[in-house]
Amino acid sequence: MLHFSHFHLPSVNSRQLLLAMSFAITGGWAWWHLHTAPSTITAPPRPRLPDHQVWQLTAVETDANGQPLRQLSASQVQHFVAENLSELTQPRVALLHATDGNWTARADQGLIFQSGAQIRLLGNVEINRAAVAHQRPLQLFTTQLDLWREQALAATEQPVRIISGADTLTAPTMQLWYAHPARLTFHGRTQLQITPAAAPAPPSGESLL
């Protein structure tokens, strides 16, 4: 004859039941966190550091006869190899074309693209052309200017202001071909303010009337 014994579960009160449930929930949360945390943690971004730095740079480009064509100077140059990009601090560019006068450009910051094919001047950009022959000196002001070496072209899509003597010109954009013969083109609404030249004083004893 088989005899079955009775198995009695220990009594559990409500407090013990709540503790057991809290431990179960805490354990489940810890397991989920351990299994999901690695996929949500990302490594901090690496700082963007230059590969090369140069202080007080002066570089001169010459033609086939050894005559200087362009000169670039900057207080600091930082070069980023992977980006093929150099950043300039206080750049100054001299464009040496004696026939139409030498042009000098300066700015707060600058960028060199494509190993020197393009230079972008940024900030307070100022260009000066020396007086030559019958041409008056010229000053140009803008906030961004691109210099293209092969095309001998300076261009901006930002507003530009040009001062020549007492005359002033403002335009939305500009293209300047600075090689001989130099020429300027403007797009959009261009305003020109011309100040008439003062008439010369008549010789003593003569009248303008």
Domain ranges for the chain: 52-193
Peptide bond into 181 cis (omega under 30): yes
- Phi first, then psi, for residue 67 (nearest 5°) are -85, 135
Tell me which fold the domain 52-193 belongs to.
lipopolysaccharide transport protein A fold (2.60.450)
CA distance 168 to 139: 10
pLDDT in tens, 20-36: 555 555 555 454 554 55
Please report, for residues 10, 35, 101, 128, 137, the alpha-carbon distance to residue 134 in angstroms, rounded to integers and kept in the order given.
113, 80, 11, 16, 10
Task: Record the tokens describing residue 23, joined without a space.
Answer: 């431990």
Q: What is the mean pLDDT of residues 96-120?
A: 86
Beta-bridge partner residues of 107? none
Residue 84 has pLDDT above 60, yes or no: yes
Task: Tell me which residue of 120, 144, 140 sits closest to 182, measured CA to CA.
Answer: 140
pLDDT in tens, 111-150: 999 778 899 999 999 999 888 777 888 999 999 999 998 8
